[in-house]
Structure 1
Amino acid sequence: MRISIVVVLAVGAALTLAGCVASTELQADAVVEDAEIPEWLHDSLDVPSSELVFLGEEDEMTVYASLDKDGNQCVIAILAPSSTSNGDDGATSTSCTSPLDFASDGARVTVGGGGHSGSAHFLPPGYSEPLEPGWVRVNPQLAVKR
């Protein structure tokens, strides 16, 4: 009986540690921790924002990572409204993928609106596959296509 309790405690500790490593691994490589979605989106935004992390920006596209309620890894791409508009040409798009799929290929999203568009590829840690033509690596966790 004593061995069973030790085994249960060891397994529980290992699972807890694995969860902490997975959560902090993203933040350790990310540019900014505890990111916030731009205020102009708060009223209309319906994206998963648990453990939101800023991944990077390229031109007018800003990219974040988060988890959805099912624990899937999500990538969020936001195009800010142009300075010459009424604020209605901004756009946001989200794509989520299972942890298993994310570990092998990451998560991709395409966003467009107001005459501009882009795509973001949230890369898993250690991703070393060559990028497809047109994609540019912004940092170890983010590639974009404009």
Structure 2
Amino acid sequence: MNRTMLLALALIATAPAFAQQQAARPAGAQGGPDATFAAWDKDGNGTLSKDEFRAGWMATRDDLALRRLHTEFARHDADKSGKLEAAEYANLALVQRAGKSAPMMTAFDKNKDGGLQFAEYIDFIKVAGAQQQPPRAAAPKAK
């Protein structure tokens, strides 16, 4: 598959993230595919190398994942306090699946304010999500 086709697929796949970005931009601000291409074209030569494409794709993917996590965080913040308190923490799917083996919220409450801000929530997701991943099967040994 050539680079032009890959770029087109990347832009199509990331369209929802760019739509959100566009909605948040002030009137008259530039954006869209040309701005994305320019941002990914780190050396400014008008073409995307494989490394530039990979870095742009990964950054876009990570940004989209972070946005989704923030949406989920906001959904669980029932009282809209900007943090998840103990009862809200207990309602998280990762906590409910883990049951009694779920990590205590206090382990992630770095500022000790009785709740998890978004950055603390991300730390929790990294740890609890990794704990609930099934172990990977060992690759068969070559003879």
Q: Same fold (TM over 0.5)?
A: no
Return the TM-score normalized by structure 1. 0.30
Q: Max radius of gyration: which structure?
A: 2
Which one has a larger percent helix, Structure 1 or Structure 2? Answer: 2
